Amino acid sequence: MNYFNKKQWFFMQLQCFLIGSVADSFPLSSTNNPLSVTFKVGNQAVLPCSWKQRLGEVAPSTCYIQWNSPADTVFERQGNEKWQAEQFQGRVEVQSEKLDSGDCSLIISDVQIGDTGRYESFMVVDGERSSKTRVFIQSVKLSVSDYKSIQSRGLGEDLVLDLYTQHSVRVVFQGRNSSEWSDRWMRGDKDNERMEKDATKEQLKIKNLKSSDQGMYKVLDEHGLGVSTVILSVNEGSKAVKLTQIMENQVPTDGAVRSSCSAFVLLPVLVTIFQILYLL
């Protein structure tokens, strides 16, 4: 590919990447104005909640907390007994030692893209599961975002792809000269001379990079949802310039702060990218 087309391809991929980053930085609207929180996939998410704002300072005789999504019940705790929805098994908790003092926050471990949505908490004041008298406590809108990065490597170098979570099961690739996606890795694949999975970390190493490895890599979970996107440029000899991976920090919940932070983050990214284009 000639010099112009190489730059054109890289610039088009950069545009798509930056537009997606800006879109991710704005909060989702809600008619009921729930509290909004945003976390990265694979991290621990905390959905804040305090029953004191609804029930006052005096604790019920038995704290019986319930968290629901629009589709179903997610979690319930009454004393030492708790119940978790199947898709959240082993990943959700309300800390019993904090519940009596008012903290009914829902903790979601290894949060996934599919966990995005609205959650509502209730205190069951009669304590009977069959005839619940529920008091609404808090509505929280959870947004789970993926990771995005632009990286540059030299011929023969290695690329380490972070998988971030055990729910990442597939890596697909789109070459810079192609509109088709192809599988590069599936969880359970054996290591080979080009691909190696770290046994202790959620990382995948692509070894001895070639020009044909340039393009876009997507890490997907078991539902086909994107965990991360990496745009890779492979350069020759002295032109090889390493780009420090640009990872998005946890996004603040305040919309104005998000917007301004995005602008400050994107400005140095643009400067760095155009410096790389100049060197190509």
Q: How does residue 97 score in pLDDT terms, banded at 50, 70 and 90?
A: confident
Q: Model confidence over 115-130: pLDDT tens digits?
A: 999 999 998 876 555 5
> What string of DSSP letters covers the chain?
--HHHHHHHHHHHHHHHHHHHHHHTSPPP-TT--EEEEEETTS-EEE--BTHHHH-SSPPSS-EEEEE-SSSEEEEEETTEEEE-GGGTTTEE--HHHHTTTB--EEESS--GGG-EEEEEEEESS--TTS--EEEEEEEEEEEE-EEEEEEEETT--EEEE--STTEEEEEEEETT-S--EEEEETTPPP-SSEEE-SSSSEEEE-S--GGG-EEEEEEETTS-EEEEEEEEEE-GGG--PPPP--PPPPPS-HHHHHHHHHHHHHHHHHHHHHHHHH-
> Who wins on pLDDT, 69 or 59?
69
Any residues with CB less than 8 A from the CB of 229 and at least 6 apart, and which?
A: 17, 20, 146, 147, 148, 149, 216, 217, 218, 219
> Has this prediction a pTM greater than 0.85?
no
Residue 176 has pLDDT above 50, yes or no: yes
Residue 3 has pLDDT above 60, yes or no: no
| Residue 67 to residue 47: CA distance in whole angstroms | 10
Going from the C-alpha of 219 to that of each of 39, 57, 184, 227, 277, the distances in angstroms are 17, 46, 10, 5, 26
CA angle 201, 189, 156 (to 5 degrees): 70
Q: Model confidence over 179-235: pLDDT tens digits?
A: 999 999 999 999 999 999 998 999 999 999 999 999 999 999 999 999 999 999 999
| Residue 149 to residue 162: CA distance in whole angstroms | 11
Residue from 126, 141, 5 nearest 66 by CA: 126
pLDDT of residue 265: 42
Q: How does residue 59 score in pLDDT terms, banded at 50, 70 and 90?
A: low
Q: How does residue 11 score in pLDDT terms, banded at 50, 70 and 90?
A: low
> Who wins on pLDDT, 272 or 73?
73
> Who wins on pLDDT, 96 or 142?
142
